[in-house]
Structure 1
């Protein structure tokens, strides 16, 4: 199972990112754990200065905007 964290303050882009990950996982039949992180100290602890950020299995894979659908699908294929 892949573990995703969406880092951000709960803005529209953060919500869109979380929904895109959940939808892509459902379509691919991949089981994931998805957590939304709003604590600024934890977000900065990951080195993310621009949200939304995405952490996959402990590694920051994206920051600073809504990821493209192809990018989200690629994370699920890794």
Structure 2
């Protein structure tokens, strides 16, 4: 199962990014667990200075701004 973390303090872009990632996972039938990381020290451990950030299986794949749907789909190889 893929482990996905959405890094952000709860801003509108963070919420939009989380919904987009969850929508793609559901639409493509990807087996994934999505967790929200909201505390700043935990976010900084990933080296993300601009939120929202997305971490998949421990690797930062995105930070800053809402990714496109095509970008999100590419992360899951679908």
TM-score if structure 2 supplies the norm length? 0.96
RMSD of aligned C-alpha atoms?
Answer: 1.0
The runs of at least 4 consecutive aligned structure 1 residues that moved more than 6 Å come to none
Unmatched tracts of structure 2, length 5 or more: none
**1:3 has 2:3 as partner:** yes
Whole-Å Cα distance in 1 between the matches of residues 26 and 34 of structure 2? 12
- Deviation of 1:31 (Å): 1.4
Match of 1:52 in 2: 52
- Deviation of 1:40 (Å): 0.2
TM-score if structure 1 supplies the norm length? 0.96
Unmatched tracts of structure 1, length 5 or more: none
- Deviation of 1:77 (Å): 1.0
- Deviation of 1:32 (Å): 0.8
Match of 2:14 in 1: 14
- Deviation of 1:30 (Å): 0.8
Whole-Å Cα distance in 2 between the matches of residues 35 and 76 of structure 1? 16
* SS of residue paired to 1:77: coil
